[in-house]
Chains A and B, each alone.
Chain A
Amino acid sequence: GAGVSQSPSNKVTEKGKDVELRCDPISGHTALYWYRQSLGQGLEFLIYFQGNSAPDKSGLPSDRFSAERTGGSVSTLTIQRTQQEDSAVYLCASSSMSSGANVLTFGAGSRLTVL
């Protein structure tokens, strides 16, 4: 596609429910990232994929968070048993690494609100 697409753009859920956030990267981009941005804060790295594998999961906050990528394309970030502190904007980015610099192209984000 022309850009990185994320869905849903907004999600309101109740504490304890599971949520899935989807990212559709730019076609041909091999690397895919998830970041979390809390209100007024910087971007917190969650996980990185190269193809379908995730060499770096170091940023996942707890075992309630998981992510997968299939077909080297679409990725899903799943948060189980959501807590209020999970409320944030979840940003997905992709890159091609073709230029040697890992320039990330971001989607507009999925805003998650946990009541």
Chain B
Amino acid sequence: EDQVTQSPEALRLQEGESSSLNCSYTVSGLRGLFWYRQDPGKGPEFLFTLYSAGEEKEKERLKATLTKKESFLHITAPKPEDSATYLCAPFPAGGFKTIFGAGTRLFVKA
């Protein structure tokens, strides 16, 4: 059975304190992985797509990396506006059933 686990469940940082979020998964026929951001009361918003081990994508203070079994979302010098829930979502080759992890709730305090 396909599984996605995100850790930690919640993370509290001070502004400027860098950290990383983890996504580990077991997905048959994996093609790639998405990262999404979700703000309270809103739908998830697309951040990155990663396809192969060793690949990295960056956007502002966020950098996503991928290995064969895990993905990391690194947050460098976060700001309060980075506070949100971050979801990872592996997707299979040729399929359409994207599986979402439960997310990591990030709180950044000024």
Question: In chain A, residues 35-70, which have Cβ atoms closer than 8 Å to a Cβ of chain B?
Answer: 35, 41-43, 45, 48, 50, 55-56, 58
A8 → B minimal CB distance (Å): 14
Interface residue count for B (Cβ, 8 Å)? 22
Closest chain A residue, CB of each to CB of B6: A42
How far is B103's CA from A43's CA once the two chains are assembled, in angstroms? 9
Contacts of A56 in B (CB 8 A): 96-97
Interface pair B43/A109, CB less than 8 Å apart: yes
Q: Are A91 and B96 within 8 A (Cβ)?
A: no
**A105: interface (CB < 8 Å):** yes
Evaluate contact between A45 and B99: CB separation under 8 angstroms: yes
**Shortest CB distance A11–B (Å):** 15
Q: Which residues of B contact A58 (CB under 8 A)?
A: 97
Partner of B103, one of A42, A48, A101: A42
B98 interface residue per 8 A CB criterion: yes
Q: Is the CB of B87 within 8 A of A43?
A: yes
Is the C-beta of A106 less than 8 angstroms from some C-beta in chain B? yes
Q: Contact mask B84-110 → A, CB, 8 Å, 1/0?
A: 000100010000111111110000000
The complex places the Cα of A102 from the Cα of B94 at a distance, in Å, of: 10
